[in-house]
Amino acid sequence: MLLEGEFVALFGGIESGGTKFVCAAGTGPEDLCARVSIPTTSPDETIRCVIEFFREATRREKISAVGIASFGPVDLHPDSAQFGFITSTPKPGWRNTDLAGPIRRALGVPVAFDTDVNGAALAEGIWGAARGLDNFVYLTVGTGIGGGGIIEGRMIHGALHPEMGHMRVTHDWSADPFPGACPFHGDCWEGLAAGPAIEARWREKAENLPSNHPAWVLEAHYLAQGLMNVICAISPRRVILAGGVMQRAELLPLVHRETLRLLNGYLQVKEITDRMHDYIVLPTLGDNAGVLGAIALAQKLAEGSSQRP
């Protein structure tokens, strides 16, 4: 309980998505004190609305840092001239957009910046389905397929950041003549298995396909292929499968079965062989995962800077 006059600094979170920006202030899932959803229009207009939201929020509470968990690709290198930019996105108008800079300048607080999936992974690791794990992967299967995660307690960055959705999976053209929907690679993982691919292949939105439709067995097969690659490459302790397509309840058990079939008994760890239902799991933070991820990024930045001499 807070004593009168006691002061707790809040963090600001911005989930930057291709269709909406969700902004909130708080310190975790229990105390999101203000939340707003802003449609993604032009960069200028969208960023202006984000700044207005935080100016208003900071009239009542102090915000000590802001986190941005963004769609990408993004530049995450703090020493790069384009740090905080959305870079080569195909989203019209958003290529080479400085997102973190104007927000930092307008609000005068430190701004943490990372991918939406790394942010969501961080949040699930602190409050959700990966609590207590220092090595796990977070994948979202929605408009695209995105992957991020934590290895030995640190978010995966590297030369760019993981782009797991664009790995190659095998495509049996006779069983599935759909050429794939990725504008860069055609039948990469995302091109075959993200929501728009399901819709284009079957000429029906994924959410409207009946449970017994062959779409789901094929979808589980593609998802399991990518999962096998992720599991073999990274050796995560758990994989969180999020995104709109995973809202389909019957899909996860099919994915479990198909992943075990493709692994074919090679990885003899009990987490995988005996507890697959607890190894590939759905997220637990629901609709707020993205913005909580951004708040978690801000919190991490603030902790890091307070530890510096």
C-beta nearest to ligand ADP: residue: 195
Binds ligand ADP by CB under 6 A, chosen from 12, 128, 180, 195: 195
Is 205 one of the binding residues for ligand ADP (CB under 6 A)?
Answer: yes
H or E segment and range at residue 193: helix 189-193
When the beta carbons of 104 and 256 are compared against ligand ADP, the nearer one is 256
Considering the complex, what minimum distance in angstroms separates the CB of residue 206 from ligand ADP?
3
User: Who's near 234: CB < 8 A, 6+ residues apart?
Assistant: 135, 137, 149, 151
Is 257 one of the binding residues for Zn ion (CB under 5 A)?
Answer: no
From the list ligand ADP, Zn ion, none, which binds 196 (C-beta under 5 to 8 Å, kind-based)? ligand ADP
Is 243 one of the binding residues for ligand ADP (CB under 6 A)?
Answer: yes
Max intra-chain CA distance, the chain = 70
Is 31 one of the binding residues for ligand ADP (CB under 6 A)?
Answer: no
DSSP per residue over 116-176, as a string?
Answer: HHHHHHHHHHHHSTTTT-SSEEEEEESSSEEEEEEETTEE--SSS---GGG-B----TTT-
User: Site mask, Zn ion, residues 156-195, x = CB under 5 A?
Assistant: ----------x---------------x-xx--x-------
Stretch that binds ligand ADP, among 44-52, 153-161, 202-210, 229-237 (CB under 6 A): 202-210
From the list ligand ADP, Zn ion, none, which binds 188 (C-beta under 5 to 8 Å, kind-based)? Zn ion
Phi, psi at residue 290, to the nearest 5°? Answer: -65, -50
Query: CA angle 174-191-256, nearest 5°?
Result: 80
Residue 134 to residue 183: CA distance in whole angstroms = 34
Residue 228 to residue 305: CA distance in whole angstroms = 38
Considering the complex, what minimum distance in angstroms separates the CB of residue 246 from ligand ADP?
8
Q: Note the residues at the interface with Zn ion (CB under 5 A).
A: 166, 182, 184-185, 188
